[in-house]
Each structure stands twice: as structure tokens, then as C-alpha cells.
Amino acid sequence: MKITHVDAIPYRIAYRKPLRFASGEVHAAEHVLVRVHTDDGIVGVADAPPRPFTYGETQRGVVAVIEDLFADQVVGASLLERESIRARLDRTVGNPVAKSAIDMAMWDALGRSLNLSVGDMLGGYTDRMRVSHMLGFDSPAAMVDEATRMRDDYGITVFKVKVGRRPVSLDTAVVRALREGLGDDVELYVDGNRGWTAAESARAMAEMADLGLTLAEELCPADDVVSRRWLVSRLDIPFVADESVTTPAEVTREILGGSATAVSIKTARTGFTGSMRAHHLCEGLGVDVVMGNQIDGQLGTACTVAFGAAFALTSRRAGELSNFLDMSDDLITEPLTIRDGELAVRPGPGLGVEIDPDKLAAYRIDR
Ligand code: MUC
Ligand code: MG
């Protein structure tokens, strides 16, 4: 189980329609496929979706940091040496997405080596999650149409609505149109990606007080420390920290500082090893958790559902597991299927996902 080689392969797959939100927009999956090879001929895979507007990483930067620094720090180690590898990688600050993809590819390789599924190795609580679909910026009518299609075609009844940076009245009109168009049986929550001030957030949430929202995510920046605490203290629903909690230490700071009351765990930024730390911390602190989406493709989504289903706390709420549906194609041989509003964990071994060599050859951009 010794690691012999790490590949970082950049690829590009267009989206059928762009996803727009307060901190950026995505027109194509410009990700990096990370492969960890072992001396037994096992290959573990994971996806690195760089998000410059959230963590500062770029596609070329992820490839470079893996090739120039991380590969040497990993090669020669056993797949079981997760903690010492983590300590070596953490000598380089930042780069959460590159580090996480290495970690998850190691877990995939370990599962394949032991003939066990990653979900079972992590915790094995359940084998599926309810799905929440993230609705990017558009007109109220277009967002209601998309949500209706997701409900009718896939049985999805939980929606995260992107808000912020547009006129507050447009965002509140969208949420009202969704509630009126889809009725009381759907769950709605909002994510501002830091796009409002605390005062704008308070006004918007008051305007939407009759709409039965269940969560408010990262409405304003965590750096607006005092005003965010003021906002969080007056809300009557959990305030989810997302981009402000990229490490367990940040979870502690946000929650104990009163700047958030729930946490989004994203395997794309904390891998499986760091996500376990975040999960155990949230459980100990007694805060709610949402399995978030970093605009993942199917490989990343397979990682999110494997982790989310592994624990009671992470599987309680619907996980954000559906935005790969907007991609024009993907890299894996057998597509993930959402049915009756749920996504099942692949049984394994490892992540239970295979990369299609023809698709990888068609979409990689390094040759
Ligand atoms: C989210 O929850 O914020 C937007 C940017 C990103 O990195 O993830 C998405 C979704
Ligand atoms: Mg978010």
C-alpha cells in the first residue's frame, strides 16, 4: 500500500448553463483529476474543483502545487499514514482543495486495496441522502421553472436559493415566487455568499419572515465580526457558516464567537480526514451540519454522499448533491442517479466510481 506516484490532470467540461451567485460564476468545470497510484497497482481518484473566489486556488495552481510540492511529500508513504502526510502537506499554508483531493484519492485507494467501501470505512451510518438542489441567479420565473423541473424529474423537494449582490427586492421576489409556485411542502433556504451587509441581511430576512426558510448561509462576510454577530443573534433560524469555515479551527472561531450557528461541510475543501474532524467538532459543539456543494461534478458528489451518509449528523439534512446535472458530460463510467429526491452511496470498493479513459482523454487539457 505504498504510494508510488501522484497525477494531477486538468480537464474542462462545459456546463449546459452557467451557475451564477454573489461571489462568482462558473461556466465550465475546470477541475483537476487527482490520481494516487500504489505499488500494488491500485489507483485511487478524487476531484479538485478550484474556486479562486473562495480559497484563491486556480486550476493551474492546483496542478503546480501538487507537482512541485505535494507529490514528493506523499510518494513513498503508506496509504495508512494519513496523519503524517497531512502534517507534511500542512507545512504549505492554504491550498485546501489540492490537499483534500490527495486525501480523498488515498481513501479511495485504501478502500480498493481492502475491498471496502469508503462510506463503510468512514462510519457507515446509512446508504443514501436526501438531495438539496442549489438554484443560481436568474429571474424569478426561470428559478421557479428550474425548481419545478427538479421536483418533477428527480423528486427533489429541498432547494438552496442563491441571494446577495443583486437588489434585495429581486432576491426576496425569487424566494416568494418559489414558495408560491412550489407550495409549502418544499424546504427553502438561502445562501448569500457574503453578498449582503449584515443590515441588508436583517432587512431581507425580515421581508421573508413569512416564507418558512429553514437556514440562512453566509449572508454577510465573517470579517464583519461585530455586525455578523449582531445579525446571527437576531435570527430565529440557524446561520450556516460555509466559506468562513475551511478548517476545524475556523469552525471553533465562528461558532464560539457567535458568528454562526451551523456549519457547511464540503469534502472538496476538507477531504475525508478533515471533514471527520469538522464533523466530530460540530457534534461536540451541538451545531447543525449541511453537506455542501462546491459545484462538484459526479466524482466530487460521490465523495460528498459517501461522507454525508456515514454519520447521523451529516445525513439528517438534505445534502447539496445535484448540480452535476447541469454539466454537459462527466468523467465517470456509470452516472450517478437521483431518484425520489435521494442519492445512494456507491457500494464500493473505495468510492465505487470508475473514470472513463475515453472521456478523460477527450476532456483533459494538458495534451
Ligand atoms: C456554496 O454553497 O456557496 C459557490 C461557490 C462555492 O465554492 O460553492 C458554491 C456553493
Ligand atoms: Mg455557500
Tally of residues, the chain: 367
Question: 63: which 3 cell numbers?
Answer: 496542478
Half-sphere exposure of 130 (CA within 13 A, CB side): 16
Cα 71 to chain centroid distance, Å, stands at 24
**Which residue has a Cα nearest atom 6 of ligand 1?**
294
Which protein residue has the closest C-alpha to ligand 1 atom 9?
A: 294
- For the stretch 6-21, pLDDT in tens is 999 999 999 999 999 9
Instruction: Please state the φ and ψ torsions of residue 158, each to the nearest 5 degrees.
Output: -125, 130
Rg (the chain; Cα; Å): 20
CATH of range 120-344; options 3.20.20.120, 2.70.70.10, 3.20.20.100, 3.40.50.970: 3.20.20.120
According to CATH, where is 3.30.390.10 located in the chain? 3-115
First to last CA, the chain: 30
Distance from Cα 81 to the centre of ligand 2, integer Å: 32
What topology is assigned to 3-115 in CATH? Enolase-like; domain 1 (3.30.390)
DSSP letter for each residue of 333-349: SS---EETTEEEPP--S
Geometric angle at alpha carbon 33, from 29 and 37, rounded to 5°: 175
- Tally DSSP H helices, then E strands, for the chain: 15, 13
Atom of ligand 1 nearest to the CA of 320: 2
Q: Catalytic annotation on 266?
A: yes
Output the nine-digit C-alpha cell for 313.
449528523
249 phi/psi in degrees, rounded to 5: -60, -40
pLDDT at 198: 98
What order of strands is seen across the sheet that includes strand 43-48?
3-21, 24-38, 43-48
Q: Which residues of the chain have pLDDT under 50?
A: none
Question: Would the CB of 191 count as within 6 Å of ligand 1?
Answer: yes
Three-state DSSP class for 194? Answer: coil
Q: Are 11 and 331 in contact (CB under 8 A)?
A: yes
Nearest to 65 by CA among 37, 99, 105: 99
Q: What is residue 367's predicted lDDT score, i.e. its pLDDT? A: 87
CATH 3.20.20.120 domain extents, the chain: 120-344
Which pLDDT belongs to residue 88? 97
Let me know if 210 is a catalytic residue.
Answer: no
Q: Can you name the residues that pair with 161 across neighbouring β-strands?
A: 135, 190
Determine if ligand 1 sits within 6 Å of the CB of residue 132. Answer: no
Question: How high is the pLDDT of residue 211?
Answer: 98
C-alpha torsion 285→286→288→292, nearest 10: 30
Question: Looking at the CA of 132, which ligand is closest?
Answer: 1
Q: Does the Cβ of 242 fall within 6 Å of ligand 1?
A: yes
Query: For helices 198-207 and 168-182, what crossing angle results, to 10°?
Result: 30
